[in-house]
Amino acid sequence: MLFFTFINRPVMHKIIHLCLLLILLLSARPVLATVVVFEAGFGQTAQSWAPLLKHLPADYKVITYTRPSIAQANAKPTSIAEDVQYLISQLKPFQGEQIVLVGHSYGGLIVSQVAELTPELIHGVVLLEPTVLSQRRQFKAIDSQRIAADDELMQQYLPAHLLAQYQLLSQQLDDAAIDTYPLPEDLPVALFTSTRRAADPLFFEETEQGKQQWLALHQALISNSEQAWHIRSKQFGHQPHKDQPALVAQAITELLSHKN
């Protein structure tokens, strides 16, 4: 206390103010930007996310894009690995920020693979009716003739550049392991699975057996997860972000809140 007797009151107040400011600066946590990166489904462009984006907070930085393989009609088909690396390249500029990946259908498969390869880059994932690597082998084990018929139907309706992409994807899924490998246990996950039954199933996935196996695949995907929310509902079909955009937006914000 003797030291302060030689300092006048205004100077002492300034010293105290500076000390308090220094303590606040040293104890403050860095404010991370929230970056939400969207990976669309098979054959879908960045525009497919429009219904969902309007429900997100304005301070989120949103990244959407159309995969190079479908950006142009004459584009070369890309493998799963190539699409995974492309997504990783989109994340690198935001490394260190709070990144959440949102993937629909085939995009969910890409997001899942990125989560396996580079968990240090991301804070969580939201998977909307995601494709699973083992699905074709498991589906074929149940009804191989139906899967062959579905492939023939796809050949009739898909444009040439998407058909080539579909054939490449199908071959890769046929070559994948029949077991489903779960996501990292400490990765926060919000997983959406449709339980809606189709009155007139067009593809195997819409049949009773297909629906049961689809749910089982998704449950296996998060079987080791310690931070997973599995949203199962008849209120949305294969495109939850279009059928229930507010619900998906809520899942994204809650995932971020829980992580914080």
Q: Which of 4-13, 172-181, 191-200 has the lowest mean pLDDT?
A: 4-13
Confidence of residue 25 (pLDDT cuts 50, 70, 90): very low
The three-point CA angle 121-229-53 to 5° equals 65
Task: Decide: 110 and 127 in contact? Cβ < 8 Å.
Answer: no
Residue 5: what pLDDT?
45
* DSSP type of residue 238: S
Note the pLDDT tens digit of each residue in 39-89: 999 999 999 999 999 999 999 999 999 998 888 778 899 999 999 999 999
Please report which helix (H) or strand (E) contains residue 61, including its range: strand 61-63
Q: Which burial class, exposed, middle or buried, applies to 215 when counting CB atoms under 10 A from its CB (0-12, 13-18, 19+)?
A: middle
**Percent over 90 (pLDDT), the chain:** 79
What 3-state class would DSSP assign to 101? strand
What residues does each domain of the chain span?
Answer: 30-258
Residue 247: what pLDDT?
97
Is pLDDT of 102 > 50? Answer: yes
What class does CATH assign to 30-258? Answer: alpha beta
Confidence of residue 160 (pLDDT cuts 50, 70, 90): confident
Q: How many CA atoms lie within 13 A of 54 on its CB side?
A: 7
Give the count of beta carbons closer than 10 Å to the beta carbon of residue 120.
7
Q: What is the rounded average pLDDT of the residues 95-110?
A: 96
| CA pair distance 79, 138, nearest whole angstrom | 21
Query: Looking at per-residue confidence, does 11 or 247 come out higher?
Result: 247
Is pLDDT of 6 > 50? Answer: no
Residue 20: what pLDDT?
53
Q: Which burial class, exposed, middle or buried, applies to 118 when counting CB atoms under 10 A from its CB (0-12, 13-18, 19+)?
A: middle
- Please give the single-letter amino acid code of residue 33: A
Average pLDDT, the chain: 89
Task: Decide: 133 and 107 in contact? Cβ < 8 Å.
Answer: no
| CA pair distance 243, 146, nearest whole angstrom | 28
| CA pair distance 101, 96, nearest whole angstrom | 14
Phi then psi for 192, rounded to 5 degrees?
A: -105, 125
